Amino acid sequence: MSERWARAALTAYRYAGAVAYPLIGPYVAWRASRGKEDRVRRRERYGVAGRPRPEGPVIWIHAASVGETIAVVPLVESILDYGVNVVLTTGTVTSAKVADERLGSRIIHQYVPLDLKPAVSRFLDHWRPELAIIAESEIWPMTILELGARNVPQVLVNGRLSDRSFRSWKKRASVAEALFENLAHVVAQSDVDGERFRVLGARPVTVSGNLKVDTNPPPVDERALATLQRQIAGRPTWAAISTHDGEEAVAAEVHATLHRRHPGLLTIVVPRHPDRADALAAQISGMGLTVARRSKGDRISPDTDILLGDTIGEMGLYLRLTEIAFVGRSLTSEGGQNPLEPAMLDTAVLAGRNVQNFREAYQRLLDRGGAKLVRDRDMLAGAVNFLLTNEAARHEMMAAGAATVDEMRGALQRTLKSLEPYIQPLVVKARLKGANGR
């Protein structure tokens, strides 16, 4: 190992707070992901391949969870159109399901290996990728160093750095530089993100916009939609989606405040983590409200107060049942969740003030009038009440959100342009391989 690689490895280990990073860091990640893994395919987390490597060039694309997976689907489809093989890794069962639903057998899906040297080496020895494309903010030191040691170009796409992550990296500037200098290119979501990557030593950096804007609206089962719409029968509705701990209770309290003003009001609550549904149903029922659980197939009756959307992959269904959506992880938690899906489905967007992870998207929506931020439960109740009462204002807000999404499109083409120098040689290689095979 050269002096440069030794320095990078050592500083990466120190960044984790212990020389034992290769054991501690991946273990922490593994502990955090327990319950979200496929037991049958657990060996893939240790780099043991579940499939043979295809002939020809392979591009490895990694998207950690559901949001990142959805964001890279159009990018993956564009690369597949070039005739190049794609191995897509994700970290959870849910994101694996999304990959299967939207890409199917066109890609090879694997669970991402833990950031242990043996696991990463085993993965790379088998798949031998000629390009690695990482989505958003997945910075795994050992993986970056191993790819660098093998001279595999690494491109970070849809790159973002939250306020907290940026502050943390700045405190360890030498570590950041030792890692980010291994990236062949960073394609950042926004000017702010781009400048942060430059400060930390990444070169070159370009700005594409957010790939999540260039995705299709979340799909829906039309039969399920029609069934629920018949059960709702024109009742006024609003939704609290992607909620985190504490926000479901807030939504229930808002419902209790508003249901007398809006007879028949139905509140749709979609927790970010459906595995909390049993506790949430008990909590909301304990507040004297009637709950129908989607996962149980409960019918929405006239006396149902809360539809608990405790299923995976049905956000498109829930959003099509309403014209008002509060987006969670913004009142009782920090960072926010993606507001673009509700906006592209003609939904007026509400959120708390802690939306740092989606700052640019919210700023654009706020500037155009497609979103409103609220301070607390009472302000949320007031905003929902206003939108339920004022149809013209609600529809104006819905139209502004959809228009904002349209204005923000184009990230996919800008990303593909940045990737072209790395992909085109592989396209030529794949075509030559095909011609020689004939």
Residue count of the chain, please give it.
438
Asked if 420 and 364 touch (Cβ cutoff 8 Å), the reply is: no
Backbone angles phi, psi at 118, to 5 degrees: -60, -40
Asked if 47 and 393 touch (Cβ cutoff 8 Å), the reply is: no
Catalytic residue among 44, 68, 130, 136: 68
Beta bridge partners of 131: 59
Report which DSSP code applies to 397: H
Asked if 412 and 214 touch (Cβ cutoff 8 Å), the reply is: yes
118: left (phi over 0), alpha (psi -120 to 50) or beta: alpha
68 as an active site residue: the answer is: yes
How far is 19 from 95, CA to CA, in rounded Å?
32
Unique residue bearing structure tokens 């009462």: 389
**Which sign does the torsion angle of CA 102, 107, 110, 115 carry?**
negative
Q: Which whole-number Å values give the CA distances from 347 to 24, 319, 323, in the listed order?
A: 43, 8, 5
3 sits in which H/E element: helix 3-15
Instruction: Tell me the one-letter amino acid at 63.
Output: A
Contacts of 43 (CB under 8 A, 6+ apart): 50
DSSP secondary structure letters along 305-367? -EEE---SS-HHHHHTT-SEEEESSSSSSSS----HHHHHTT-EEEE-S--GGGHHHHHHHHH
How far is 196 from 202, CA to CA, in rounded Å?
9
**With the CA atoms of 278, 281, 287 and 290 taken in that order, what torsion angle do they form, in degrees rounded to the nearest 10?**
-150
Instruction: Tell me the one-letter amino acid at 354.
Output: N
The CB density around residue 55, as the number of other CB atoms within 10 Å, is 11
Reported in sequence order, the residue ranges of 168-317 that DSSP labels E, i.e. its strands, are 185-188, 205-207, 237-243, 266-271, 291-293, 306-308
Tokens of 385: 């009440």
Asked if 75 and 413 touch (Cβ cutoff 8 Å), the reply is: no
Tokens of 44: 């893939």
Asked if 402 and 371 touch (Cβ cutoff 8 Å), the reply is: no
Question: Which residues are catalytic, by number?
Answer: 68
